[in-house]
Structure 1
């Protein structure tokens, strides 16, 4: 079977396809046998070949790519167990792929968790907003509040799990994840806020202070809202009302006439 696996991998590489998408005729040609001989050696079905390829540490394909399946599986596990409860074995089992495939795609657990944050965190929306920012300062602040509130409420709840790990383990995987993504977050926020500083619309405070004054209230509110709603009921403003209040408060604190 090893020679057939090698032939299948060679044919897939040559055609730029997953093994599962390569016709048996092409695999037979690469193996130097006829199609009927190949089928006979496989017991009449290519399922045995796909399984042998999988056992060799390569996903034969024919399904969603390993990266997509692993990111989805890891995100569900993070929501269920937190970042600390994630192992590559558990992700491989949930995603239906091999450990070597995960290592090849993500280069370890931190790489996988970073991809999960990329897919379910605020970065894509932040960069899209920075690429086409609102003209008015108030609209920019309001859009940022909505963006981060949506990221915190997004299911599966990856961003709250990241904060939970940060608070409990300052040197844990969430800290490494945030360190890896921090330059992009700072760049996106800077492209949105610094033009208003340069135009004299925002006080020239250090960038970390501007960001903390902005995001601190919404992070605190959204994380605590599931606890506050049962206790306060109608006394708790809606999310949209809260965002308007935070926008007004931020502008009163840092905007210049």
Structure 2
């Protein structure tokens, strides 16, 4: 069930823009609700349609049918999360979005652009960028915030990010899988790299080679939340709750890479 405060935020955002709720971007709803986009997606169950249904249940018409673009993005995300990248054919997307393949070409230009649009919708990139572009905060809190965003991206349905990574690892020689993976990961790695470079220059992080430092920061979090669904099947393994895991990874990274105030 979509929380009432999210429904109210969507209504306020629509009123301020003078458009139906169905035409308000999710990032605008998240901003109005005072939460990150990834948190919004988790709270509405990963589906724009769920938000519109909740608005309708509150007695407000959210507007007409979602556009072909919106329907296609949701249909593709569902296929990715359930069956992986190989299942995403334009024919199956068109069937799920209740449109023609020609309409998909008109909206996206092709399968690659559609996949990238899906990743942009469900990726942690935008929220990570917001954290990194915000006024400087305490180093620990920045690292913790990034880890929370990444954890959300791995955990909420549909599980787009895990599907993309798993497909790239399973098919290292497939150009299509690698192209999507490259677009999916490169932007966040580049932005985190720029932030780390600035923190090194400011004397808050150790001056270590950049790529290993980026990997040391995001690698453990990616690995843990990517593989958690598998670990959960092992009776002898007891997983900490996500927040405790995030705190552990934050502490580990800072111990390895941060310069203590006395040394700065």
What TM-score results when the alignment is normalised by the length of structure 2? 0.69
Contact 2:68 2:104 in 1 (8 A): yes
Aligned to 1:244: 247
1:211 and 2:229 aligned? no
Gaps of 5+ in 1: 1-61
CA distance in 2, matches of 1:133, 1:215: 22
From 174, 193, 198, give the equivalent of 1:195.
Answer: 198
Aligned to 1:117: 119
1:226 deviation in Å?
Answer: 2.0
From 59, 83, 86, give the equivalent of 1:84.
Answer: 86
Gaps of 5+ in 2: 1-63
From 153, 156, 174, give the equivalent of 2:155.
Answer: 153
CA distance in 2, matches of 1:239, 1:181: 23
CA distance in 2, matches of 1:196, 1:117: 28
From 74, 91, 100, give the equivalent of 1:72.
Answer: 74
1:225 deviation in Å?
Answer: 1.6
Contact 2:128 2:149 in 1 (8 A): yes
1:66 deviation in Å?
Answer: 1.0
CA distance in 1, matches of 2:238, 2:195: 33
1:172 deviation in Å?
Answer: 4.0
Deviations 1:154-193 (A, max 9, x none): 2100011011111011234332123335553244313432
Counterpart secondary structure, 1:97: coil
Aligned to 1:129: 131
1:231 deviation in Å?
Answer: 2.8
CA distance in 1, matches of 2:195, 2:79: 34
What TM-score results when the alignment is normalised by the length of structure 1? 0.70
In the superposition, relative to structure 1, how do residues 238 and 90 fare at CA in structure 2: closer, same or farther (>3 Å)?
A: same
In the superposition, relative to structure 1, how do residues 133 and 174 fare at CA in structure 2: closer, same or farther (>3 Å)?
A: farther
Larger radius of gyration: 1
1:184 and 2:187 aligned? yes
Contact 2:77 2:118 in 1 (8 A): yes
